[in-house]
Amino acid sequence: MADPNGVICLGEALIDRLGPLGGDSACDQPVDDRLGGAPANVACALARLGTAVAFVGRVGGDAIGAEFQRLFVQRGVDSSTLQLDPSRPTRIVLVRRSGDGERQFQGFAGDQGDGFADQALQPVALPSTACWLLVGTIPLASPQSAQALLDAVARARSHGIALALDVNWRPTFWNATADPDAGPTQAARSAIRPLLEQAALIKLAREEALWFFAGDDPGVISSGLPQRPDVVLTDGPAPVRWCIGGESGTQPALSPPQVIDTTGAGDAFTAGLLHRWLAPVTERLRFAAACGALVCAGAGGIDPQPTEAQVEAFLGGVS
C-alpha cells in the first residue's frame, strides 16, 4: 500500500444507549446515549489519529443526525457523502453492560414503522484517491443498504482501492429477536462470503473466525481464501493473532488504566492498524492494541479515542 492516508468508512452511524452497569438499557435508569456505530467509530478514531478519512452513511434528519454532523465537523471527518433521511430516524441500539464493562447488544429503539435511516443507504460516488474502503457486514442485513455496500465495493475495486473488512457480526441487526450471542444463519453466511473473498484485510474476533471458517488460525484462514488476505484475529484480553504478508505472529493485549466500557475498543484497534499500516508489522499491531486499550478507559466508543501523542505516551509507559 503506497499511502495509508485516505480511508473511506462506509456503514452505520447510530446511538449506543448504555444501560447502568448490570442493568437493562430498555427500562433501567440512568442511560447514557453515546454516538457510535462501528464505521463511524473508526472514522472518528482515524481522524483523531491524523489520518484523512471520509464517512459514507445515512442518518435521520433528527437531533441525533445533527449531532453526527457536528461531530464529523469537529473531528475533521469528510462527511460530504453523509445522507440525511427525511422520514426514518437514526437507529438507537440498546446496550447492556456487565459489571466489568463487557457489553451485549439487546435490541433497538426509535423505529416509527419504516425502519432506520442506515437501512436506506443509497449508492454514492467514492473519492477515487483513497487507499482503503473499510466496511462491516451490518449493511448486508437490509436489502437497500446491502446494495449500496456492494456497489461501493465494486466502485472501490475499479479505482484500485483496497477493501478492509471488519466482520462485526451482530445477529440482532439481521433479526431483532435473535439471541445476541447467536452465530450467523446460512443466509447471512452466503451474503457475507463475497466480502470475505474480496477483502485485502480481514479483522475478526475469535468467535467470528469459528463461525465463518470453523477454525481460528489466521494463516489457515488467509490460505483458504482466493486472494490470500491479511488476517487479524482479536480475542478479548487474549493476545491478538495475525497473518500479514504471509508471516504470522501474536500481539499481547495491553491493559488500560481502568476498564469503564469496552464499546468501540475493536474499532479503535482497527483505526490504529490502518493509521500505522506502513510501519513494521509488530509496531503496527502494538500501536493498534494501545488504541483499543485506551478506549476502554472511558464511556462510549468515540469520546475516549486517543490522539497519536496519547498513544505514544501510553506505549512509552508499557514495558
* Closest by Cα among 190, 210, 195 to 165: 195
Strand pairing of 230-235 and 201-205? Answer: parallel
pLDDT digits (tens, 9 = 90+) for 120-160: 999 999 987 899 999 999 999 999 999 999 999 999 999 99
Query: Which has more pLDDT, 139 or 264?
Result: 139
Query: Which has more pLDDT, 257 or 62?
Result: 62
pLDDT at 298: 85
Check: pTM over 0.85? Answer yes or no.
yes
Residue 98's pLDDT band (boundaries 50, 70, 90)? low
With DSSP H G I counted as helix, E B as strand and the rest as coil, what are the percentages for the chain, rounded to 5? Answer: 35, 20, 40
Contact 124, 176 (CB under 8 A): no
pLDDT at 114 over 50: yes
pLDDT at 1 over 80: no
Domain covering 7-316 in this structure, CATH number: 3.40.1190.20
Contact 44, 73 (CB under 8 A): no
Residue 261's pLDDT band (boundaries 50, 70, 90)? confident
Contact 34, 263 (CB under 8 A): yes
pLDDT at 24 over 70: no
Distance, C-alpha 114 to centroid of its chain? 25
Residues 94-121 have a mean pLDDT of: 81
Residue 259's pLDDT band (boundaries 50, 70, 90)? confident
pLDDT at 202 over 80: yes
pLDDT digits (tens, 9 = 90+) for 267-283: 999 999 999 999 999 99
DSSP string, 48-114: HHT--EEEE-EEESSHHHHHHHHHHHHHT-B-TT-EEESSSPPPEEEEEE-TTS-EEEEEEE---SS
Contact 248, 242 (CB under 8 A): yes
Contact 294, 306 (CB under 8 A): yes
